[in-house]
Structure formats: structure tokens, C-alpha cells
């Protein structure tokens, strides 16, 4: 009896001793977990901060105010001119004359050229549009804001450029002097760059905008959603609920899993060969891009949907069947609605993957330089990640900021989609 008591005492001691060790283990693990989360969070914060700082200049744009004289002779039109004639006018000449008039001391050819370089090459279209909007300005002088050249823009945004040697910067000393003169007259202003969000791509950084790529991405994602969700859902429901369990379905399952691991560029090559070369779908368009990305996202959606369908308790199927529901009724009235949160999550994950995909789209020509904003799914277009890739590759300094700004737009797009996923999931989720 006492022996047994002793034994019990020992046991308790033993447990107590090991307990200390177990608690230590637990604390260590929790600390490790916290550290991991912190590391991830730090990286993310660093990335976001870095991108935001870099992107900021892209949302600001320098403008220069000119006294533009819409002289009929310089334009090369007859005094009361109609719209067609006005459109053809020599606005470049008008701009030049206006600039020379503002800086009469500049006379050498080289200097004149340098002076004209201060403003964007798109300025002539800006003043053309100004005149077209108000033709009565013909023959008058107007104070007009035009875009500054991207080199000027970069120079104005970065204080320390001034301290560099003349040879080390793209804006030379005489140009700096002119800019200072303009600045003193209040003729230089930094404005919020709406054009970045409303215009398409351009060779000139100061005119380049994200709207084309954004629209291209939206159209492409819509195509992906419209194709991959019904296809993926149907395939998953069939495989999970209706297909007989045999060697063929095993084979299909293995292949679906394999497809999910195929590098995306392969899908691009496949799309090029099948959709474009064989079926003649227009290249560079959101339609074919969406089709290629559908191939890529289908396995993800199918796998996620199947897992989600599998997790619906069999008792729910039994309940419906035992009440006399047919197989199809059971599946679509009970199983699929219950699996919907998981299916939607899988779909959104697939969409997010597709959203960030570049490689397969390069294969099908969505990397082309496209200025026009696409209006439909068969227009030539590019998408955000490809736009980022293109800009990141451009030598002009101003494109660096644009690249970061485009990344921010892409991230915002992603966040919006994920929020949508959460909202949808909440709506479909039911308490057990």
C-alpha cells in the first residue's frame, strides 16, 4: 500500500519535471511563430514602403505655362478656318515661335533646340486640342499649360540633380537657367497626374498612363472568370459527385494535378499554337489572353473545388437522398451551396494567379506596345504585369516611378479582388 503511494508520488514528481520542459517547448514554439509572422510582415511593410516612395513621383507631373500665340500664318491656315483645316495646322511651329518669343535672348540654333526640348513632345497635341475646343482663339495669345518633358520633370522632382556636374545630368546648365526663370514667373507647376490613370501607354514617360493596361487586365480577368468558373465547377462537380471511381478517373485526377504544376509559359505556347494558329483567335487580345490564363487557372479551381465538395459531410447527401431528392437535386441544392465558400476561394486564388501572370501572355503577343485603350475583348491590349515588365525595361528615368506606380495599381486590384472574395465567402457561409 505504502509502496503504491510512493509510486504515485514519484509519478507526480516525474510529470511535474517533464511539465516544465513541455511548457518551455511551448513558449519556444510560440516565440518562433511570432518571429516568423513578424519577419513576413516586415518584408511586406518594407516592400510597400519602398514601392510607395518610388511611385510617388509618377502621380505628380510638372507643367509649364506658355504664352501661346495661335497665329494663323504660323499655323499655316486661312483666317476663318474650319475644323478640318485646324486639325492639320502646324502646332509645332506655333509652339516654337511662342517659346522663342518668351526667350528672345536665345538665338543660336543649338540653344533654340535645347529650349524646345523643355516641353513634352505631346504639347503640340495639347494646344491643338485647346484650339479645337475654342476655335475663336485663332489669332489671339493664350496662357496655356503644357506638359514638361520627362527629363525636366525628373530634374524638378529631384533636388540633388542640381548639384551634379553638367555632363552627369540630362538637363544642361542653360536649360536650368531657363527653368529657374520660368519658375520665378510662376510658370512651373506640379500637378496631380490624372493622365496616369486615364491614358494609355506612350513612348514619352510624361504622357504614359496605366489605363490601357488596367482595362486590358479587367477584360482578360473577365474572360478568365467567365470561362474558368463554370468549366472548373462543372468538372469538379462531375469528377467528385458523378464520375465512377475507376482507372480513368484516377488518370484524370493525376493529370489535373500535374497540369497545376506545369510552368505557365507552356500554356502560352499551347495558346499560340492552338487558339491563334489553329482557331484564328485574334492575337494580343484579352480574349486569347483570357483563354490561355483559363487553361492555367482551371486546375487550381478544379482541385480547390473538389476539396471543398469533399469536405461537405456525407450525412447531408444522405439526408437529401433519403427524402427523395435526385442525385442532381442533392448535389446542386445542398452540396454545391455548402461547398461554395471553398469554391469561391479557390476561384479567387486562381484569378489572383492569373492576374499576376506575365510569361504566357508574352507568347501570345500581349507584350506589344499599344497606345489605344482596348474597347472590347478582341482589341489588342496589354495587362498590368506585362506593362510593369515593359516599363521596368525602359531606360528613361521617369519610367522607374511609373513602374512602381503600376505595381501599386496591380496590388490595389489584387486587394480589391481578395476583399470581394471575403465578402462573397461571408455571404455564402452558413453556420453548421
- Does position 329 interact with other proteins (CB under 8 A)? The reply is yes
Q: Which is nearer to other proteins, 325 or 392 (CB)?
A: 325
Q: What's the CA gap between 71 and 423, in Å, rounded?
A: 59
The residue range among 131-139, 224-232, 269-277, 318-326 that interacts with other proteins, by the rule CB under 8 A, is: 318-326
Under 8 Å between Cβ of 78 and 85? yes
Nearest in space to 213 (alpha carbons), one of 59, 373, 337, 348? 373
The residue range among 84-92, 111-119, 165-173, 326-334 that interacts with other proteins, by the rule CB under 8 A, is: 326-334
- Does position 432 interact with other proteins (CB under 8 A)? The reply is yes
- Does position 326 interact with other proteins (CB under 8 A)? The reply is yes
| Min separation Cβ 242 and other proteins, Å | 11
The residue range among 100-108, 206-214, 312-320, 407-415 that interacts with other proteins, by the rule CB under 8 A, is: 312-320
Q: Which of residues 105-144 bind other proteins (CB under 8 A)?
A: none
Q: What's the CA gap between 193 and 242, in Å, rounded?
A: 55
Residues in the chain: 432
Return the H-helix or E-strand segment holding 115: helix 109-116
- Does position 320 interact with other proteins (CB under 8 A)? The reply is yes
Q: Which string of x and - marks every residue 222-251 that binds other proteins (by CB under 8 A)?
A: ----------------------xx------
| Min separation Cβ 427 and other proteins, Å | 14
The residue range among 121-129, 186-194, 310-318, 415-423 that interacts with other proteins, by the rule CB under 8 A, is: 310-318
Q: Cell 518584408: give the residue.
A: 43
Q: Which three cell numbers stand for residue 112?
A: 533654340
> What long-range pairs does 28-32 form, CB within 8 A, spacing at least 24?
none
Give the chain's radius of gyration (CA, Å). Answer: 32
Return the H-helix or E-strand segment holding 43: helix 2-55
Q: Which of residues 333-362 bind other proteins (CB under 8 A)?
A: 334, 338
| Min separation Cβ 246 and other proteins, Å | 9
Instruction: Please count the other Cβ atoms lying within 10 Å of the Cβ belonging to residue 221.
Output: 21
- Does position 2 interact with other proteins (CB under 8 A)? The reply is no
Q: Which is nearer to other proteins, 250 or 372 (CB)?
A: 250
- The phi, psi pair for 11, rounded to 5°, reads -60, -50
Alpha helices in 238-383 (DSSP H): 247-261, 264-271, 286-310, 314-322, 327-330, 336-355, 359-363
The residues binding other proteins (CB under 8 A) are 244-245, 313, 315-326, 329, 334, 338, 430-432
Amino acid at each position: 500500500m505504502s509502496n503504491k503511494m510512493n509510486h504515485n508520488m514519484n509519478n507526480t514528481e516525474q510529470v511535474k519535471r517533464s511539465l516544465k520542459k513541455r511548457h518551455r517547448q511551448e513558449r519556444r514554439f510560440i516565440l518562433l511563430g511570432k518571429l516568423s509572422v513578424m519577419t513576413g510582415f516586415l518584408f511586406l511593410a518594407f516592400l510597400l514602403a519602398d514601392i510607395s516612395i518610388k511611385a510617388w513621383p509618377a502621380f505628380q507631373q510638372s507643367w509649364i505655362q506658355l504664352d501661346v500665340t495661335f497665329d494663323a500664318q504660323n499655323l499655316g491656315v486661312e483666317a476663318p478656318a474650319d475644323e478640318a483645316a485646324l486639325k492639320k495646322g502646324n502646332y509645332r511651329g506655333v509652339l516654337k515661335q511662342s517659346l522663342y518669343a518668351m526667350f528672345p535672348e536665345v538665338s543660336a540654333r543649338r540653344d533654340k533646340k535645347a529650349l524646345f526640348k523643355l516641353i513634352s513632345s505631346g504639347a503640340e497635341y495639347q494646344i491643338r486640342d485647346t484650339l479645337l475646343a475654342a476655335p475663336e482663339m485663332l489669332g489671339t495669345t493664350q496662357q496655356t499649360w503644357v506638359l514638361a518633358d520627362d527629363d525636366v520633370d525628373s530634374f524638378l522632382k529631384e533636388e540633388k540633380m542640381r548639384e551634379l556636374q553638367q555632363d552627369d545630368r540630362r538637363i544642361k546648365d542653360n536649360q536650368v537657367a531657363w527653368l529657374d526663370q520660368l519658375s520665378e514667373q510662376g510658370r512651373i507647376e506640379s500637378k496631380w497626374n490624372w493622365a496616369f490613370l486615364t491614358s494609355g501607354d506612350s513612348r514619352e514617360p510624361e504622357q504614359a498612363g496605366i489605363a490601357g493596361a488596367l482595362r486590358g487586365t479587367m477584360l482578360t480577368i473577365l474572360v478568365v472568370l467567365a470561362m474558368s468558373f463554370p468549366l472548373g465547377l462543372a468538372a469538379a462537380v462531375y469528377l467528385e459527385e458523378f464520375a465512377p471511381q475507376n482507372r480513368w478517373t484516377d488518370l484524370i485526377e493525376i493529370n489535373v494535378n500535374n497540369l497545376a504544376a506545369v510552368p505557365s509559359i507552356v500554356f502560352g505556347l499551347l495558346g499560340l499554337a492552338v487558339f491563334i494558329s489553329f482557331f484564328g483567335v485574334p492575337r494580343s487580345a484579352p480574349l486569347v489572353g483570357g483563354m490561355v490564363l483559363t487553361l492555367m487557372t482551371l486546375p487550381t479551381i478544379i482541385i480547390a473545388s473538389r476539396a471543398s465538395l469533399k469536405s461537405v459531410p456525407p450525412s447531408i447527401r444522405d439526408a437529401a437522398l433519403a427524402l427523395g431528392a435526385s442525385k442532381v437535386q442533392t448535389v446542386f441544392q445542398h452540396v454545391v451551396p455548402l461547398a461554395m465558400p471553398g469554391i469561391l476561394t479557390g476561384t479567387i486564388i486562381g484569378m489572383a494567379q492569373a492576374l499576376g501572370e506575365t510569361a504566357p501572355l508574352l507568347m501570345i503577343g500581349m507584350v506589344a506596345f499599344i497606345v489605344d485603350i482596348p474597347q472590347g475583348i478582341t482589341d489588342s491590349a496589354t495587362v498590368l504585369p506585362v506593362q510593369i515588365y515593359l516599363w521596368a525595361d525602359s531606360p528613361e528615368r521617369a519610367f522607374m516611378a511609373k513602374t512602381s506606380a503600376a505595381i501599386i495599381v496591380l496590388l490595389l486590384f489584387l486587394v480589391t479582388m481578395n476583399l470581394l472574395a471575403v465578402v462573397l465567402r461571408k455571404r455564402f457561409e452558413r453556420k453548421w
